[in-house]
Amino acid sequence: NIVGHWEGAFTRFGAAQAVALDIQATDSGLVGTYDIPDLVLYSEPLKELTYLADTLTFGLFWGKYTCLVFNDIGEITGENLNWGPPVSVHLRRALKQDLYRV
């Protein structure tokens, strides 16, 4: 099940940037948001969110990602091949902690 809160980081050239995804199921399909605290981006909508046969795809600030979902260990790994060099992402299922108020 892909629904839930996921935390991790983007990596490129050995640098890491924290990211969190929140994915929900609705009557019309999956919807989600992302946070990138370093860029002061909170609750931004995920674009082109699809999940089929353990493959998750989504678009956000850094472009479109194609990821493999490992539900047995609660991890997601993938990359955006359109950046040179590619930007990787690694996420783990986590408990959501609200760090800010709207």
* DSSP per-residue codes, 5-48: EEEEEEEETTEEEEEEEEEEEETTEEEEEEEEGGGTEEEEEPEE
Does the structure show a pLDDT above 80 at 97? no
8 A C-beta contact, residue 48 and residue 57: yes
Q: Would the pTM of this model clear 0.85, i.e. be above it?
A: yes
**Burial (Cβ within 10 Å: 0-12, 13-18, ≥19) of residue 91:** buried
**Residue 80's closest CA among 10, 6, 9, 3?**
10
Query: Band of the pLDDT at 62, cuts 50, 70, 90?
Result: confident
* 2-22 average pLDDT score: 94
Q: Which residue has the higher pLDDT, 97 or 35?
A: 35
Print burial letters for 24-60: b (CB count within 10 Å at least 16), e (below 16): eeeeeebebbbbbeeeeeeeeebeebebeeeebbbeb
> What is the mean predicted confidence (pLDDT) over 5-16?
93
